[in-house]
Amino acid sequence: MARQFFVSIIALLIAAPLACLGEVNPCVLNPFNKTCIADNLRAKYEEVISLKYKFDVLLIDVRTPEELACTGSIPTSINIPLATVSDELKLAPSLFLRKYGRKKPGLNDLIIFYCHSGNRAATAALAAVQLGFRNVKNYVGSWIEYATHHCLPLDCSGATPEPCKTTTSM
């Protein structure tokens, strides 16, 4: 009887946390999640377009090269696909500079990630924080918002947003 009770307690201790996983708020798992991101972790359109004057901020597009070939990218950004973000941010500074033509960010330098809609950027931002980077943001509007302001293709279908917002180009 005591053994059965002990086995039941062990099973409960193992199963209870697993049962709760289905209830975990996605914002607890990733504070960069676009549905609940805090303002201090969110990059806004105005901040992103001002980056052409700020070479100390790194804007990273985590979409695939195939997506960029169809749509283009935000000026001053570099492309590091999501699947390689962690490895690339671990590169030696000299290798990062040679590969991307930009200085590797220091742990306190601002890094802004974007993608198509802000989801992959959230994953990349979390990966950067897990590597020790402390000043990281997700451009939640990502390519969809930028393309809307500049009447650029949204995706490989060539469709442009309707209606396009008119702003000065970057």
* CA atoms of 169 and 49, how far apart (whole Å): 9
**Looking at 1-10, 16-25, 123-132, 155-164, which range is the least confident one?**
1-10
List, for residues 100-126, the tens digit of each pLDDT value. Answer: 999 999 999 999 999 999 999 999 999
Q: Give the DSSP H or E segment for 43.
A: strand 42-43
C-alpha triplet 112, 149, 78: angle, nearest 5°:
30
Residue tagged active-site, from 115, 151, 156, 164: 115
Q: Is the pLDDT of residue 5 over 80?
A: no
Predicted TM-score of the model (pTM): 0.80
Q: How far is CA 46 from CA 42, 100, 104, 146, in A?
A: 12, 24, 24, 10
For the question of residue 115 being annotated catalytic, the response is: yes
| Residues 72-96, mean pLDDT to the nearest whole number | 97
List, for residues 68-77, the tens digit of each pLDDT value. Answer: 999 999 999 9
Task: Specify the higher pLDDT residue, 138 or 158.
Answer: 138
pLDDT cut 70: percent of the chain above it: 81
* CA atoms of 72 and 56, how far apart (whole Å): 22
Question: In the chain, what are the domains?
Answer: 26-150 (3.40.250.10)
